[in-house]
C-alpha cells in the first residue's frame, strides 16, 4: 500500500504544478478528477472503459460474451451505472459480446459504430436491442472529430467499408490535454497504411495495440509514427491464436514502449490529468473476480510535459434527456448460466470464434443455453468450399461449454473441447462463411469473416 500512496501523492503534485515534480511533505493531495481509462481483463477480446473528469462514461468494445457479466459487474462496482457513449470498433464477437450484456443491463444513451453490415446472430441481437430501445446511433468514419467534455475524439479509420472486418475497425485517437490514447480495434497493416496515407496525426503516448498483438498489425511504419510510451495488449492467457506475437512484442520494445498485457497484468488503468499520466494494474481478472481493487502499482509518472502549462477547461456534464429502463437489474453475483435475455433455444448454441490463419484452424461453438445440447447429426459447413463436418454421434455440449472443431495440419482431437475435422485446410484466408446446422437441417448460426 505504500506504493499506492506514493503514486497518488506524486500524481497530485503533477496535477497542481503542471509538470513533473518530486513529492514533498505538505503538498496538498486534493486535485480535480482525472480522466481514467481502464482496459478490462476480459480474456481473449477487447474492452475499455473511459471515464471523463465530468463523469461521462464511454465503453469501447465489451469483450466476448463470456465476459459480459464481469464487465457489467466491474462497471457497477466502480460507480458506473450507465453508458453515455458505447463504441463498437467492429462486430467480431470478442469485441461485441460483452456490449450486448451491457445493453441488457444498464441505460446506454448513444452507440457509435461503423454501420457496417455483418452476418452473425450476435450482431443482429445487438442491432435489435439498439432499435428496440430507440438508442441513437452515430456512424463514424475517418476525418470526423467528436468532443466529449474536455475529451477530443478523432476518427482516423475507416474511410470506407471494405470486405475485411478487422480492417474496417474504428480507430479513435482520444486526446485529453497533451495526453493521447490510440484505440485501434483489430485493424491490420492494410488499415494502418490507409491511416498513414491520409496523413492523420497518430502520435500517442498510450497505444491500445491492435488485434491482440497479432503480427498482422502494428506494422513498423505505423508503430514508429505512433511512437507510444505505453502499449496495452488485451489478450487472453494461453489463447490458441498465439497472441501476442513475439514479433509485435519485439517491435514495441524497440520503439521503447513499456508493454502491459491483460493476460499477465490483469486490468490495466491509465489515469491522466492531461499533463502527465500513470499506469496501474491488477492481476485480478474481471472474468474471475468481478469486484477488484487495485492491488499492484507498478508504474509511476515518467513523462514531464513542461510545454503544457494549462490543464483542460472543464465542460459541464452532458445531461441525458431520456432514461431507458434497464430490463435487467445488475446483480452482485454474475453467473454464466443465467440467461437474462430469455434467449430462445435457437440462439443458445452459437459460433463464437473462427480461426482461419495458421496451421491450426478451428470453429468454436459455445452453448449459452440453459440445457446441455446433444449435437448428434449437427453439421458445420464451410460455404466457400462446400465442405461439411458432422458431429460424432452422442456428442454433447455441456451448459456454458465450448467445442472447437479443428482443421489443418496441426488439427488436434481431444474431446470434449477439441474435435478434429480433417488434417486439410478448410477455411479460405480471403474470407469464408461457417454455418452451423442442427439435426433437422435448420441453420442455427453463421459466421462470416
Q: Which residues bind Zn ion (CB under 5 A)?
A: 94, 186
What helix, strand, coil percent values describe the chain, rounded to 5? 20, 30, 50
Q: What is the closest distance, in whole angstroms, from the C-beta atom of residue 115 to Zn ion in the complex? A: 19
Residue 45 vs 290, nearer CB to Zn ion? 45
**At closest approach, how far in Å is the CB of 333 from Zn ion?**
28
If 0-12 CB within 10 Å is exposed, 13-18 middle and 19+ buried, where does residue 365 land?
A: buried
* Complex with Zn ion: residue 112 or 378, whichever CB lies closer: 112
- By beta-carbon proximity to Zn ion, the closer residue of 180 and 186 is 186
* Shortest distance (Å) from residue 362 CB to Zn ion: 16
Beta-carbon contacts of residue 303 (< 8 Å; ≥ 6 apart):
20, 205, 229, 276, 277
Closer to Zn ion by Cβ: residue 239 or 280: 239
Question: Exposed, middle or buried, 397 (CB in 10 Å: 0-12/13-18/19+)?
Answer: buried
From the CB of 195, what's the least distance to Zn ion, in Å? Answer: 18
**Smallest separation, CB 292 to Zn ion (Å):** 23
β-pairing, 171-176 with 151-157? antiparallel
Least distance CB 356 / Zn ion (angstroms) = 13
Nearer to Zn ion, 235 or 436 (CB): 235
Residue 123 or residue 389: which is nearer to Zn ion going by CB?
A: 123
CA distance 438 to 443: 7
Give the residue with the Cβ less far from Zn ion, 73 or 166. 166
Q: Is the torsion defined by CA of 247, 250, 252, 255 positive or negative?
A: negative
For 125-165, where are the E strands, in sequence order? 137-139, 145-148, 151-157
By CB atoms closer than 10 A (0-12, 13-18, 19+), residue 140 is buried
Report the nearest approach of Zn ion to the CB of residue 88 (Å): 12
Give counts: helices (H), strands (E), the chain.
8, 26
Amino acid at each position: 500500500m505504500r506504493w499506492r500512496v506514493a503514486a497518488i501523492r506524486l500524481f497530485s503534485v503533477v496535477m497542481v504544478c503542471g509538470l513533473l515534480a518530486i513529492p514533498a511533505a505538505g503538498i496538498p493531495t486534493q486535485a480535480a478528477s482525472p480522466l481514467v481509462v481502464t482496459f478490462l481483463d476480459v480474456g481473449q477480446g477487447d474492452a475499455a472503459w473511459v471515464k471523463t473528469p465530468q463523469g461521462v462514461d464511454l465503453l469501447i468494445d465489451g469483450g466476448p460474451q463470456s465476459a459480459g457479466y464481469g464487465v457489467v459487474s466491474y462497471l457497477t462496482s466502480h460507480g458506473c451505472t450507465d453508458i453515455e457513449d458505447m463504441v463498437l470498433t467492429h462486430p467480431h464477437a470478442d469485441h461485441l459480446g460483452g456490449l450486448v450484456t451491457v445493453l441488457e443491463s444498464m441505460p446506454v444513451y448513444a452507440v457509435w459504430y461503423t454501420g457496417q453490415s455483418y452476418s452473425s446472430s450476435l450482431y443482429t441481437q445487438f442491432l435489435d436491442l439498439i432499435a428496440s430501445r430507440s438508442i441513437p446511433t452515430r456512424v463514424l468514419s475517418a476525418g470526423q472529430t467528436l468532443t466529449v467534455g474536455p475529451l477530443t475524439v478523432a476518427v482516423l479509420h475507416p474511410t470506407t467499408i471494405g470486405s475485411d472486418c478487422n480492417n474496417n475497425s474504428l480507430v479513435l485517437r482520444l486526446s485529453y490535454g497533451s495526453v493521447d490514447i490510440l484505440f485501434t480495434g483489430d485493424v491490420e497493416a492494410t488499415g494502418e497504411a490507409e491511416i498513414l496515407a491520409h496523413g492523420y496525426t497518430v502520435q500517442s503516448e498510450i497505444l491500445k495495440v491492435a488485434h491482440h498483438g497479432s503480427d498482422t498489425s502494428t506494422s513498423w511504419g505505423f508503430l514508429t509514427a505512433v511512437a507510444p510510451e505505453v502499449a496495452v495488449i488485451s489478450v487472453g492467457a494461453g489463447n490458441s491464436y498465439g497472441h501476442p506475437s513475439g514479433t509485435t512484442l519485439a517491435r514495441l520494445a524497440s520503439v521503447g514502449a513499456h508493454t502491459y498485457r491483460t493476460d499477465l497484468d490483469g486490468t490495466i488503468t491509465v489515469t491522466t490529468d492531461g499533463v502527465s499520466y500513470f499506469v496501474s494494474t491488477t492481476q485480478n481478472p474481471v472474468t474471475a473476480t468481478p469486484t477488484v481493487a487495485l492491488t499492484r502499482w507498478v508504474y509511476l509518472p515518467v513523462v514531464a510535459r513542461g510545454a503544457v502549462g494549462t490543464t483542460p477547461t472543464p465542460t459541464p456534464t452532458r445531461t441525458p434527456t431520456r432514461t431507458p429502463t434497464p430490463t435487467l437489474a445488475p446483480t452482485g453475483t454474475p453467473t454464466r448460466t443465467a440467461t437474462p435475455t430469455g434467449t430462445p433455444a435457437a440462439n443458445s448454441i452459437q459460433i463464437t470464434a473462427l480461426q482461419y490463419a495458421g496451421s491450426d484452424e478451428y470453429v468454436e461453438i459455445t452453448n449459452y443455453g440453459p440445457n446441455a445440447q446433444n449435437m448428434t447429426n449437427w453439421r458445420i459447413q464451410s460455404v466457400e468450399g462446400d465442405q461439411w463436418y458432422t458431429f460424432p454421434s452422442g456428442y454433447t455440449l455441456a451448459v456454458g461449454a465450448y467445442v472447437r472443431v479443428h482443421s489443418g495440419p496441426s488439427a488436434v482431437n481431444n474431446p470434449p473441447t477439441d474435435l478434429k475435422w480433417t488434417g486439410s485446410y478448410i477455411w479460405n484466408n480471403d474470407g469464408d462463411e461457417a454455418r452451423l446446422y442442427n439435426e433437422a437441417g435448420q441453420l442455427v448460426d453463421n459466421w462470416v469473416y
